Structure 1
Amino acid sequence: MKKYDIIIVGAGASGVFMSYELAKLDIDASVLMLDKGAPLEKRQCPIKKGAGNCLKCEPCHIMNGYGGAGTLSDGKYNITTQFGGDLHNYVGTEEAMDLMEYVDQVLCSMGGADAKLYSTASSELKTTALRNNLHLLEAKVRHLGTDRNVKILGRIFDYCKTKVESQFYTTISGVTREDDGTFNVMTDKGDVFNCKDLVLATGRSGSKWISDVCDKFGIKQKKNRVDIGVRVELPAEIFKHITDDVYESKIVYKTDKYNDMVRTFCMNPYGEVVAENTNGIVTVNGHSYADPALRTENTNFALLVSNKFTEPFKDSNEYGESIARLSNMLGGGVLLQRFGDLVKGRRSSDRRMEKCFTRPTLKATPGDLSLVIPKRQLDNIIEMIYALDKIAPGTANEDTLLYGVEVKFYNSKVEVDENLETKVEGLYALGDGSGVTHSLSQASASGVHVARILTEKYNGKEAK
């Protein structure tokens, strides 16, 4: 058994920035970071190599490995407390914003300074949206692009590697606690590691594992939300006046028919639609690049309907997974439908797609989303598309493409205090895996926050 002071389970955004801050502050402690995915240089999705459809790699290179799901994303950091998580409810709004600004400074120092910082605070789009019963949330947005993001993460890893030991392709098979308060972490390789402080930072892909650990230690969790929707793809010119101005437009709409909330999410100008494998279920997402040579002619974004459940229902993620399984069953993965076909009540076919002016960036199976997505959510999405058409004419064109399904699984919100420590002393839960955050900026900030707390504990002085 090898002993460490601190073990971080998960090398996603929160784990990466926690390791960075521990290295920067020169913590007087031994640190090990474990992840079931690959090191950065090995993370290559087979689809990028021409595999066509998702091969359901285990673990998924898009979702797992150094940097987590954010590594091969479009590298978009939203500096705001209006969306992206509830970190401010634990550390205070001012501290949360300071932490996110600090994360932005680190990214700039590591090669992101040339990436433009957008802001929606004084945008004319906000006024235009309000006039059409749409609401633009405020944020500063730093878009790194997938290509630049990977390089920055590589530099962060090099900065940390002498202070933080990392081990990849490692799945945690169990966690126990000794009588002295330390933790034993067992791996699928038969190794056992012991530590004084254990940090759960597994991100979205580790939601079930974190839930199991919390159940074992009697830590309360809240499970009541999942977002279900589609990934919209259309010619970039339609949203150009918006994306050139604010890049990421988080627009919220309350539908007339059901009074439900629908929102845009993860906008990728000149980007591409990609498949993700979460626990064996293929869903859809979007990426975009900083290099103009890698850009496409399309823009994509998600339209998500928020679903909150009440007693006696308890497993909202299973509800989302069941809908995604239907899509996988009918389409062998991701389904694709023209908006015009959807509103006319007919499936998209290979023949109809051949006549489509919008060229899809992801190979997907033409089909009928109405056979997969429940009527209420689908009605909300259609109403939202017509609402967006008022501020971005062309959104409701027949050849606007809808990929399904996109599901945002909200990890069970783990009960933690202002230090993101659970009721079990020495056991921390942070990042998207804790349910406290839902974005790269807030997840990264949570890692910095806990790193400073542990540095103060081991070094015996305030770490700021």
Structure 2
Amino acid sequence: MNKYDIIIAGAGASGVFLSYELTKLDNKAKILMLDKGAPLEKRICPIKLGKTDNCIKCEPCHIMNGYGGAGTLSDGKYNITTKFGGDLHTYIGQEKAMELMEYVDEVLCSFGGADAKLYSTGNSDLKTTALRNNLNLLDAKVRHLGTDRNVQILERICNYTKERVEMEFYATVTEVAQNPDGTFSVKTNKGEEYQCDDLVLATGRSGSKWISGICDQMHIGLEQNRVDIGVRVELPAEIFKHITDEVYESKIVYKTDKYNDMVRTFCMNPYGEVVAENTNGIVTVNGHSYADPSLRTENTNFALLVSNKLTAPFKDSNEYGESIARLSNMLGGGVLMQRFGDLVKGRRSSERRMEKCFTRPTLKATPGDLSLVLPKRQLDNIIEMIYALDKIAPGTANEDTLLYGVEVKFYNSRVEVNENLETKIKGLYALGDGSGVTHSLSQASASGVHLGRILAEKYSK
């Protein structure tokens, strides 16, 4: 059995920054990082390679898994704020959380992100315009790296840490057990077995079921979080240009008149593309954008999400989201797409109608009817939000605005941890989006830095 001081299960944002901090700071720890996905250079989606038009459910999904996690092939957007993106500040304090996110930004800039623009919504005229139309623009600083530059930065961080941190890819952790002496045994699908003194669970969004299973097994408390369900909107970039040029990522929240529900924009990608991603065998949509002008498209895309926090007796909010996504996959063979004009007129989009559409889709999806998939309440909320956005970005409610379904943001059950992000079991930690404590690249990365400093001090003695 191979013995390590620290094993990191998961190479997502929190795991990457944990490994970075342990490499940078003086300590004697022997460290292993395990991930079910591929190394960075092999993380290429077959759709991107032109080998297929639709998601073929690669296992593991290159967009969701591998070095850097789901954030690697995202558009590299780091929101420096505690207003959204998680609750790290409730564990370590507001000032500390902001300090760590600013530090993460400094590290990204030092590895090649310095040329990426830093946007701010704090003093934006858009905030006033939004409020006048019953919309709330959340305050944040946003560093947009772009998918291409994000990959380059992560490659440099990987090269910096790989001499210090052993990395094993295509390695799914199948078994975790605590030994009588307090150490941990970890087994993988490759038949390998490892032992460590400190075990860090950093599996990200795609590891939600896995980490819940570990917590159930070890009787660690879990609090169910919400699930956000909605669509990805795609429209000509000119419609949102006055917003994206000024603040880039506009987190806009709206309270609907009909149901008093909260709807929000999420993950805005100017001149970007819509992509499919595979989470636990379910195909959903997301969006990417690039720093290189030659890779940009004529469209902007963003998600519209409705928050759902279900009450007793139902407990598994993620299962609710998965069931809706499965229905979309069943009807569309993957991702469904519908013109907004067809949706409000109560008719399905067809190949014939799509041929006349002025907005050219960036993802090949099945034309269909989202009203057969999304519950009426969520759909009514989304339609109302689109009309509200049309007041600050005229053209949002055009007939040829495209809606892709479904987009689901699964929030892991929040693991019961202390201010050190340690569970009740000494030496067992839960980080990043996998812990349910964070929901963003900035906060997940900051959580890795936070624990990295704690463990570096432990192993420097």
Do both proteins adopt the same fold according to a TM-score greater than 0.5, normalized to the shorter chain?
yes
1:74 match: secondary structure = coil
Runs of 4+ in structure 1 over 3 Å off: none
Partner in structure 2 of residue 143 of structure 1 = 144
Q: Give the letter for the 1:92 counterpart.
A: G
Q: 1:312 & 1:417 partners in 2: Cα distance?
A: 28
The CA deviation at 1:223 is 1.3
1:49 match: secondary structure = coil
2:311 match: secondary structure = coil
Partner in structure 1 of residue 20 of structure 2 = 20
Gaps of 5+ in 1: none
The CA deviation at 1:309 is 1.2
Partner in structure 1 of residue 195 of structure 2 = 194
Q: Give the letter for the 1:100 counterpart.
A: M
Q: 2:458 & 2:177 partners in 1: Cα distance?
A: 23
The CA deviation at 1:152 is 0.2
The CA deviation at 1:26 is 2.9
TM value normalised by structure 1: 0.99
Q: Give the letter for the 2:27 counterpart.
A: I
Q: Give the letter for the 1:266 counterpart.
A: C
The CA deviation at 1:459 is 1.1
Q: Give the letter for the 2:310 counterpart.
A: F
Q: Give the letter for the 2:435 counterpart.
A: S
Q: Give the letter for the 2:133 counterpart.
A: N
Q: Give the letter for the 2:31 counterpart.
A: V
Partner in structure 2 of residue 384 of structure 1 = 385
Question: Is the Cα–Cα contact under 8 Å of residues 224 and 314 in structure 1 kept in the other structure?
Answer: no
Partner in structure 1 of residue 447 of structure 2 = 446
Partner in structure 1 of residue 249 of structure 2 = 248
Partner in structure 2 of residue 314 of structure 1 = 315
Question: Is the Cα–Cα contact under 8 Å of residues 337 and 347 in structure 1 kept in the other structure?
Answer: yes
Partner in structure 1 of residue 332 of structure 2 = 331
2:306 match: secondary structure = strand
The CA deviation at 1:319 is 0.2
2:274 match: secondary structure = strand
Q: Give the letter for the 1:24 counterpart.
A: K
Question: Is the Cα–Cα contact under 8 Å of residues 75 and 145 in structure 2 kept in the other structure?
Answer: yes
Q: After superposition, give the CA deviation of every residue in 1:239-294 in whole Å (9 maximum; x if it has no partner).
A: 00000000000000000000000000000000000000000000000000000000
Question: Is the Cα–Cα contact under 8 Å of residues 224 and 310 in structure 1 kept in the other structure?
Answer: no
TM value normalised by structure 2: 0.99
Q: 1:49 & 1:165 partners in 2: Cα distance?
A: 29
Q: Give the letter for the 2:380 counterpart.
A: D
Q: 1:329 & 1:55 partners in 2: Cα distance?
A: 14
Q: Give the letter for the 1:21 counterpart.
A: E
Partner in structure 1 of residue 160 of structure 2 = 159
Question: Is the Cα–Cα contact under 8 Å of residues 226 and 310 in structure 2 kept in the other structure?
Answer: yes
The CA deviation at 1:224 is 3.7
Q: 1:183 & 1:312 partners in 2: Cα distance?
A: 35
Partner in structure 2 of residue 6 of structure 1 = 6
Q: Give the letter for the 1:332 counterpart.
A: G
Question: Is the Cα–Cα contact under 8 Å of residues 236 and 297 in structure 1 kept in the other structure?
Answer: yes
Q: 2:104 & 2:131 partners in 1: Cα distance?
A: 31
- CA RMSD, Structure 1 to Structure 2 (Å): 0.5
The CA deviation at 1:351 is 0.2
The CA deviation at 1:137 is 0.3
1:47 match: secondary structure = coil
Partner in structure 2 of residue 29 of structure 1 = 29
The CA deviation at 1:311 is 1.4
Q: 2:43 & 2:457 partners in 1: Cα distance?
A: 34
Q: 1:313 & 1:451 partners in 2: Cα distance?
A: 37
Alignment of 1:43-62 (within 5 A): 43-50=43-50, 51-62=52-63
Q: 1:40 & 1:360 partners in 2: Cα distance?
A: 28
The CA deviation at 1:6 is 0.2
Q: Give the letter for the 1:184 counterpart.
A: S
1:390 match: secondary structure = helix
The CA deviation at 1:356 is 0.2
Q: After superposition, give the CA deviation of every residue in 1:13-34 in whole Å (9 maximum; x if it has no partner).
A: 0000000000000321100000
2:459 match: secondary structure = helix
Question: Is the Cα–Cα contact under 8 Å of residues 225 and 436 in structure 2 kept in the other structure?
Answer: no
Q: 2:244 & 2:457 partners in 1: Cα distance?
A: 42
Q: 1:26 & 1:230 partners in 2: Cα distance?
A: 46
Partner in structure 1 of residue 178 of structure 2 = 177
The CA deviation at 1:222 is 1.0
1:395 match: secondary structure = coil
Q: After superposition, give the CA deviation of every residue in 1:54-111 in whole Å (9 maximum; x if it has no partner).
A: 0100000000000000000000000000000000000000000000000000000000
Q: 1:83 & 1:258 partners in 2: Cα distance?
A: 23
1:60 match: secondary structure = coil
Q: 2:330 & 2:179 partners in 1: Cα distance?
A: 45
Q: Give the letter for the 1:68 counterpart.
A: G
Q: Give the letter for the 2:19 counterpart.
A: S
Q: 2:447 & 2:313 partners in 1: Cα distance?
A: 32
Gaps of 5+ in 2: none
Question: Is the Cα–Cα contact under 8 Å of residues 225 and 412 in structure 2 kept in the other structure?
Answer: no
Q: Give the letter for the 2:41 counterpart.
A: E
Q: 2:27 & 2:270 partners in 1: Cα distance?
A: 41
Q: 2:457 & 2:396 partners in 1: Cα distance?
A: 52
Q: 1:187 & 1:141 partners in 2: Cα distance?
A: 38
Moved more, 18-27 or 55-64: 18-27
Partner in structure 1 of residue 363 of structure 2 = 362
Q: 1:265 & 1:62 partners in 2: Cα distance?
A: 18
2:348 match: secondary structure = coil
2:8 match: secondary structure = strand
Partner in structure 2 of residue 73 of structure 1 = 74
Q: 1:197 & 1:171 partners in 2: Cα distance?
A: 18
**Is 1:402 aligned with 2:403?**
yes
Partner in structure 1 of residue 85 of structure 2 = 84
Percentage of pairs with the same residue: 83
Moved more, 440-449 or 220-229: 220-229
Q: 1:161 & 1:26 partners in 2: Cα distance?
A: 16
